[in-house]
Structures are given as structure tokens and as C-alpha cells.
């Protein structure tokens, strides 16, 4: 007879881990069961915020696109953020002109 691949303790740990990974979480990654528990009302601290420079760049590009194409519906556009030095050489990216408008150009590889 073959030995079981997993002990009952191993199985319990795997099930608990699965539930922890799939438990609904809020926007901050905290399980809703913890975030909504009244006993935790004073149990959270919020450190000073950090700036997300990738999100900042995306927001600026989206606002510029809306200025450049005011009659276009941007709701179905998929935006991606790449690091400037890792941008593909054939990617079209906005370049801001001196007058504040954007012109779309092919990124030059470095």
C-alpha cells in the first residue's frame, strides 16, 4: 500500500492557504473579513502616501489624449505604462510639444 502524498495536516494547510489567497480583499489588499470587523475599528494605521510615478505618467497621458482628441470616446482605450528606458523601439508614444499639445511618434531605442 502506498503512503499518502499529503498528511492531514498538509491538506489542512493547503486548504487554509487556498482560502486565504481567494478571500475577497479591499482596495488595499486587506481581507474584507478583517477590514469590516468592528474589533479592528482602531486597528489600522495609514502611513504617509508615496507617489506612484507610473500612475502619474498614465494620468498625464490620458488627460493629454482627451485634450488632443476631444470628440473621441476614451472609455475603451487600454493604457499601458512602460519604463522609459525599456520602451520597445516600435512603440508609439506621445511627445509633448512646446504649445502643450501631444504629437504621437515612434519611440527611439536607446
> Do 101 and 65 contact (CB within 8 A), yes or no?
no
> Domain-by-domain residue ranges, the chain?
8-40, 53-106
Q: What is the pLDDT of residues 25-81, one digit of tens each?
A: 999 999 999 999 999 999 999 999 999 999 999 999 999 999 999 999 989 999 999
Positive or negative torsion for Cα 83, 84, 87, 90: positive
Q: What is the model's pLDDT at position 84?
A: 87
For residue 87, count CB atoms less than 10 angstroms from its CB and return exposed for 0-12, middle for 13-18, buried for 19 or more: middle
Amino acid at each position: 500500500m502506498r503512503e499518502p502524498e499529503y498528511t492531514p495536516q498538509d491538506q489542512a494547510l493547503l486548504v487554509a492557504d487556498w482560502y486565504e489567497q481567494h478571500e475577497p480583499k479591499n482596495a488595499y489588499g486587506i481581507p474584507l473579513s478583517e477590514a469590516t470587523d468592528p474589533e479592528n475599528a482602531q486597528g489600522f494605521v495609514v502611513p504617509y502616501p508615496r507617489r506612484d510615478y507610473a500612475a502619474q505618467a498614465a494620468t498625464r497621458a490620458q488627460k493629454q489624449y482627451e485634450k488632443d482628441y476631444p470628440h473621441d470616446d476614451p472609455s475603451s482605450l487600454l493604457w499601458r505604462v512602460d519604463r522609459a528606458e525599456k520602451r520597445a523601439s516600435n512603440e508609439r508614444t506621445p511627445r509633448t510639444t512646446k504649445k502643450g499639445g501631444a504629437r504621437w511618434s515612434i519611440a527611439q531605442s536607446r
